[in-house]
Amino acid sequence: MQPFQNKITSLFKIDIPVIQAGMIWASGWRLASAVSNAGGLGLIGSGSMYPDVLREHIQKCKSATDKPFGVNVPMLYPDIDKHIQIIIEEKVAIVFTSAGNPNTYTSLLKQHGITVVHVVSSSKFAVKAEAAGCDAVVAEGFEAGGHNGREETTTMVLVPAVCQSVSIPVIAAGGIATGKQMLAAMVLGASGVQIGSRFIASHEASSHIDFKNAIINTKEGDTSLALKKLTPVRLIKNKFYHDVLKAEEAGASQEELKLLLGRGRAKRGMFEGDLDEGELEIGQVSSLFNKIVPAAGIVDSIWQEFQQQLRHPLK
Ligand code: NDP
């Protein structure tokens, strides 16, 4: 492998500027440590973990890799204060915060020497994250799976806009699963990429096998944004999605949508494999791959393709 160094590899002390996104019900210690061992940065997704479960995953990740890894903290989930406390106690070196205000925890985490990155869907929030003291931002475009920006700005537009707005390093996300897409994002000004969907269809992801198979069978146009009145989220268009769409078209209120969503829909779909009634969060890019493979193979093939493409003349 050709040695490579830039702002993101230096910031995280990694070899390859590929970051595996923190994803609820998918990215536990197995996936995070596999990605870190392959030279990228693995993230434990704490959003679907009770505090004691998060501690266990951090400890198992430490045993499974001596490479850097991080924890993603989506701020709309419960028990965030306890999660932050555990992250500090366990001396996790890197935290990615998302779906909330970067002012809430950045300075506390920085006081403990933790590298902090915030996920944004607009230049406005990128500027806020830089002002809050974050070390980098993830600019996540509309193609991304799961929770998503209200303004629907695509990665192609968001990445250069965020790069113009801040001076901290920018990591591109949303719609990226190949080396060619990675190179495109870096030509737009990003110093690395964050990849979610591709890593769910890996052996190490803790997601249900039926969900993984549904992902690799999606075709172009099979995902859509839903629940914009609550928290916008990109889903596979299954029965639950169509029920939500019907309710939204009938003018359902926030309260009615909350009632329809109920509790634990995400777990039901992605962890328990209920493909009809569960919530199936995945990005548009899932239509571009069709195999469940080891996580290290994903990192390797993206990096190989990126390097080959760098040397390749443009058509
Ligand atoms: P829910 O709030 O519906 O249910 C909680 C789920 O998280 C359960 O499956 C529970 O597992 C698990 N869980 C993990 N850690 C904790 C914890 N520390 N405390 C409580 N539950 C925990 O979960 P969602 O993932 O669907 O939504 C999370 C948040 O996002 C909620 O605040 C929700 O209102 C909000 N939201 C979500 C949307 C979505 O699309 N999912 C849309 C709009 C808002 P177990 O069953 O084992 O207890």
Expressed in angstroms and rounded, the spacing between residue 315 Cα and the centre of ligand 1 is 47
Look at residues 271, 128, 288 and name the one whose alpha carbon lies nearest to residue 215.
288
- Work out the pLDDT band at 95, boundaries 50, 70, 90: very high
Nearest CA to ligand 1 atom 23: 264
The two three-digit tokens of residue 96, written as one number: 């990615």
pLDDT at 313: 75
For residues 179, 99, 145 and 266, what is the CA-based torsion angle, rounded to 10 degrees? 140
**Res 145 pLDDT > 70:** yes
Both 148 and 14 in one domain: the answer is yes
Expressed in angstroms and rounded, the spacing between residue 264 Cα and the centre of ligand 1 is 5
Average pLDDT, the chain: 97
The tally of domains found in the chain comes to 2
Both 112 and 73 in one domain: the answer is yes
Both 42 and 87 in one domain: the answer is yes
The span from the first CA to the last CA of the chain, in angstroms, equals 26
Q: Which of 23, 27, 48 to mutate to test the pocket of ligand 1 (most atoms within 8 A of CB)?
A: 48
In a domain, 246, yes or no: yes
Containing structural domain, residue 241: 216-285
Nearest CA to ligand 1 atom 13: 48
Both 265 and 294 in one domain: the answer is no
- Do the beta carbons of residue 44 and residue 58 sit within 8 Å? yes
Expressed in angstroms and rounded, the spacing between residue 27 Cα and the centre of ligand 1 is 16
In a domain, 197, yes or no: yes
The two three-digit tokens of residue 59, written as one number: 């400890």
Ligand 1 contacts (CB < 6 A) are 48-50, 76-79, 227, 230-231, 233, 261, 263-267, 279
> What ligand 1 atom has the least distance to the C-alpha of 227?
42
In a domain, 111, yes or no: yes
Nearest CA to ligand 1 atom 40: 233
How far is the C-alpha of 17 from the C-alpha of 280, rounded, in Å? 27
In a domain, 211, yes or no: no
Both 135 and 270 in one domain: the answer is no
Both 127 and 173 in one domain: the answer is yes
Expressed in angstroms and rounded, the spacing between residue 210 Cα and the centre of ligand 1 is 21
Q: Which residues pair with 45 in a beta bridge?
A: 72
For residues 116, 120, 122 and 128, what is the CA-based torsion angle, rounded to 10 degrees? -30
In a domain, 152, yes or no: yes
Look at residues 92, 81, 105, 3 and name the one whose alpha carbon lies nearest to residue 42.
92
Expressed in angstroms and rounded, the spacing between residue 99 Cα and the centre of ligand 1 is 14
- Do the beta carbons of residue 147 and residue 76 sit within 8 Å? yes
Q: What percent of the chain has pLDDT over 90?
A: 97
Instruction: Work out the number of other CB atoms within 10 angstroms of the CB of residue 158.
Output: 27
- Work out the pLDDT band at 266, boundaries 50, 70, 90: very high
Both 49 and 195 in one domain: the answer is yes
> What ligand 1 atom has the least distance to the C-alpha of 265?
26
In a domain, 247, yes or no: yes
pLDDT at 3: 84
Residues 64-86 have a mean pLDDT of: 97
Q: Which of 231, 259, 268 to mutate to test the pocket of ligand 1 (most atoms within 8 A of CB)?
A: 231
Both 134 and 74 in one domain: the answer is yes
Both 245 and 181 in one domain: the answer is no
> What ligand 1 atom has the least distance to the C-alpha of 146?
40
Residue range 171-225, pLDDT digits in tens? 999 999 999 999 999 999 999 999 999 999 999 999 999 999 999 999 999 999 9
What's the distance, CA 165 to chain centroid? Answer: 22
Both 73 and 93 in one domain: the answer is yes
Both 279 and 292 in one domain: the answer is no
Block residue for tokens 């490479």: 67
In a domain, 17, yes or no: yes
- Do the beta carbons of residue 239 and residue 209 sit within 8 Å? no
Both 189 and 241 in one domain: the answer is no
Q: What is the CATH number of the domain that holds 50?
A: 3.20.20.70
pTM of the model: 0.96
Q: Are strands 94-98 and 69-74 parallel, antiparallel or unpaired?
A: parallel
**Res 2 pLDDT > 90:** no
The two three-digit tokens of residue 192, written as one number: 């690395």
